Amino acid sequence: MLGNVSDGQIAGKHSMRDQAATLEPEEEKQPKMQQQPPQAEHRPRGGTMKFTYASGSKPLDGFTIKRGVGSGGFGEVFYALSDAGKEVALKHIQRNLDIEMRGVTHCLNLKHPHLVALFDIRYDDAGEGWVVMEYVRGENLKEILDRRPNGLPPEEAIRWFRPIAAAVGYLHDHGIVHRDLKPGNIFNDAGTIKIGDYGLSKFISVSRRSGQTESVGTFHYMAPEIGKGVYGKEIDIYALGILLHEILTGRVPFEGESSQEIIMKHLTAEPELRGVPEPFRTTIAQALHKDPTKRTSTVEEMLANLGVSKNESVVASLHDNVTIQNHAPGHAENPPSQSIGAADDRDPIHRAMTGAVQSVSHWWNNDNISLFPKVLVLAACSIALITNLGWLAPLGFLAAAAYMAYLLGRTIYLHMSDAPSKTPITEYSPYHPVVMTRKERARQSRKQKRTRRERERAALAAIPLDLRMKSLIGSFLISAISAAVISLLALVLGGVSIEAPLATWAPLFGWLTIMTICASWSVLLLGKLWEPSSGDPWLRRFAMVGVGLLLGMIGYTAGNTLLLEMPISAAGIETSSGWHENLNLRGWFQSVHQSPSASTFAIVFAAQFGLLRWWKQADPLRKTRLSLWTIGFTVLTSAVVNYFCPFIQPWGMILVGATSLVVQISAPWYSLRERDELRQSQQINAETSA
Amino acid sequence: MNRSSAEPLAEAPSRRQLWVDGVGGFLLLTSPDILIGQATPQSGVDVPILGDLSRRHAWIRRRGSEYVIEPLAEVRRRGKLLEQPTALSDGDQVQLGRSVVLSFQKRHPLSASAVLRLVSSQRTEPSTDAILLMAETCILGPRSCNHVVCGGWKQDVVLYKQGEGLHVRSPGAFQVNGHAVRNKSPLAADCSVQGEDFSFYLERLAASA
pLDDT at A576: 37
Q: Note the pLDDT tens digit of each residue in A335-390.
A: 333 333 334 455 667 777 777 777 777 766 665 566 677 778 778 877 777 777 66
Residue B47 has pLDDT above 70, yes or no: yes
pLDDT at A613: 86
With an 8 Å Cβ cutoff, is A49 touching chain B?
yes
Mean pLDDT of B87-94: 93
A47 vs B contacts (CB less than 8 Å): 152, 197
A55 vs B contacts (CB less than 8 Å): 19, 21, 192, 201, 203
Strand pairing class (B80-81; B75-77): antiparallel
B6 domain residue, yes or no: no
Q: What amino acid is encoded at A147 in this protein?
A: R
pLDDT at A78: 93
CATH number for position B78? 2.60.200.20
Contacts by residues A530-536 (CB-CB < 8 Å, ≥ 24 positions apart): A530/A615, A531/A457, A531/A460, A531/A461, A531/A615, A531/A618, A531/A619, A531/A620, A531/A621, A532/A457, A532/A458, A532/A460, A532/A461, A533/A457, A533/A461, A534/A453, A534/A454, A534/A457
pLDDT at A226: 79
With an 8 Å Cβ cutoff, is A98 touching chain B?
no
A351 domain residue, yes or no: no
Q: A660 φ, ψ to 5°?
A: -60, -45
Residue A427 has pLDDT above 70, yes or no: no
CATH number for position A183? 1.10.510.10
Residue A32 has pLDDT above 50, yes or no: no
Residue A39 has pLDDT above 50, yes or no: no
With an 8 Å Cβ cutoff, is A87 touching chain B?
yes
Residue at which a domain ends, from A265, A291, A306:
A306
Residues of B with CB under 8 A from a CB of A: 9-10, 19-25, 41-42, 121, 125-127, 129, 152, 154, 177-178, 188-192, 194, 196-201, 203-207, 209
Please check whether residues A157 and A293 belong to one and the same domain. Answer: yes
Please check whether residues A472 and A597 belong to one and the same domain. Answer: yes
Please check whether residues A590 and A476 belong to one and the same domain. Answer: yes
Mean pLDDT of A20-41: 36
Between CA B15 and CA A280 the distance in angstroms is 50
Please check whether residues A227 and A153 belong to one and the same domain. Answer: yes
Mean pLDDT of A262-281: 86
CATH number for position A17? 3.30.200.20
Residue A208 has pLDDT above 70, yes or no: no
A91 annotated to a ligand binding site: yes
A382 domain residue, yes or no: no
Best B101, B203, B204, B208 member to test A by mutation, with max A CBs in 10 Å, is B203
The catalytic residue among A180, A197, A236, A619 is A180
List, edge to edge, every strand of the sheet that includes B33-38: B47-49, B33-38, B58-63, B66-71, B86-88
Q: Is the model more confident about A52 or about B207?
A: A52
pLDDT at A335: 38
The answer to whether the CB atoms of A49 and B199 lie below 8 A apart is yes
Residue A312 has pLDDT above 60, yes or no: no
**Total beta-carbon pairs less than 8 A apart between chain A and chain B:** 92
B3 domain residue, yes or no: no
Highest mean pLDDT among A213-227, A501-515, B152-166: B152-166
A429 domain residue, yes or no: no
Nearest chain A residue to B46 by CA distance is A20
Q: How far is A688 from chain B (nearest CA, A)?
A: 7
First to last CA, chain B: 16
Picking from A22, A28, A49, the nearest residue to B22 by CB comes out as A49
Spatial contact of B34 and B18, defined as CB atoms under 8 Å apart = no
Please check whether residues A485 and A615 belong to one and the same domain. Answer: yes
A324 domain residue, yes or no: no
pLDDT at A311: 56
Please check whether residues A480 and A613 belong to one and the same domain. Answer: yes
**What DSSP letter does each residue of A115-155 carry, written as one string?**
BPPEEEEEE-TTS-EEEEEE---S-BHHHHHHH-TT---HH
A212 domain residue, yes or no: yes
Q: How far is A66 from chain B (nearest CA, A)?
A: 7
pLDDT at B75: 94
Q: How far is B83 from chain A (nearest CA, A)?
A: 31
B94 domain residue, yes or no: yes
B23 vs A contacts (CB less than 8 Å): 49, 67
Please check whether residues A162 and A50 belong to one and the same domain. Answer: no
The number of folded domains in chain A is: 3
With an 8 Å Cβ cutoff, is A22 touching chain B?
yes
Indicate the DSSP class of residue A602.
Answer: H
pLDDT band at B33 (very low <50, low <70, confident <90, very high): very high
Q: Note the pLDDT tens digit of each residue in A134-158.
A: 998 888 898 899 888 888 998 888 9
Between CA A29 and CA B162 the distance in angstroms is 22
Picking from A23, A55, A137, the nearest residue to B203 by CB comes out as A55
With an 8 Å Cβ cutoff, is A160 touching chain B?
no
Q: What is the mean pLDDT of chain B?
A: 88
Is A180 in the active site? yes
State yes or no: cis peptide before A44, omega within 30 of 0: no
Residue at which a domain ends, from A134, A165, A188:
A134
Q: What amino acid is encoded at A327 in this protein?
A: H
pLDDT band at A1 (very low <50, low <70, confident <90, very high): very low
Q: What is the mean pLDDT of chain A?
A: 73
Residue spans of beta strands (DSSP E) within chain B: 15-20, 24-29, 33-38, 47-49, 58-63, 66-71, 75-77, 80-81, 86-88, 93-96, 100-105, 114-118, 130-133, 137-141, 148-149, 157-162, 165-176, 179-187, 191-194, 199-204
Spatial contact of B60 and B105, defined as CB atoms under 8 Å apart = no
Mean pLDDT of B117-132: 89
Residue at which a domain ends, from A266, A289, A306:
A306
pLDDT at A279: 87
B9 domain residue, yes or no: no
A425 domain residue, yes or no: no
Out of A293-307, A386-400, A465-479, B3-17, which region has the weakest mean confidence (pLDDT)?
B3-17
Residue A289 has pLDDT above 70, yes or no: yes
Q: A148 φ, ψ to 5°?
A: -120, 80
Mean pLDDT of A30-38: 36
Mean pLDDT of B32-48: 88
Residue A446 has pLDDT above 80, yes or no: no
The number of folded domains in chain B is: 1
pLDDT at A403: 79
Q: How far is A214 from chain B (nearest CA, A)?
A: 16
Please check whether residues A170 and A58 belong to one and the same domain. Answer: no
Strand pairing class (B165-176; B179-187): antiparallel
So what's the ipTM on this one? Answer: 0.79
Mean pLDDT of A563-574: 48
B132 domain residue, yes or no: yes
A409 domain residue, yes or no: no
Q: A491 φ, ψ to 5°?
A: -60, -45
pLDDT band at A428 (very low <50, low <70, confident <90, very high): very low
Out of A8-17, A178-187, A233-242, A409-418, which region has the weakest mean confidence (pLDDT)?
A8-17
Please check whether residues A67 and A166 belong to one and the same domain. Answer: no
Please check whether residues A180 and A117 belong to one and the same domain. Answer: no
Q: Residue B64: which domain range? A: 14-204
Residue A199 has pLDDT above 80, yes or no: no
The answer to whether the CB atoms of B10 and A70 lie below 8 A apart is no
**Share of residues in chain B with pLDDT > 70 (%):** 93
**Share of residues in chain B with pLDDT > 90 (%):** 61
- Comparing CA positions, the residue from A545, A491, A497, A496 lying closest to residue A513 is A491
Please check whether residues A98 and A161 belong to one and the same domain. Answer: no
Nearest chain B residue to A23 by CA distance is B206
Q: Residue A12: which domain range? A: 2-134
Between CA A133 and CA B84 the distance in angstroms is 45
Q: Is the model more confident about B106 or about A408?
A: B106
- Comparing CA positions, the residue from A175, A295, A165, A141 lying closest to residue A240 is A165
Please check whether residues A84 and A164 belong to one and the same domain. Answer: no
Mean pLDDT of A425-444: 41
B61 domain residue, yes or no: yes
B5 domain residue, yes or no: no
A404 domain residue, yes or no: no
Q: How far is B186 from chain A (nearest CA, A)?
A: 14
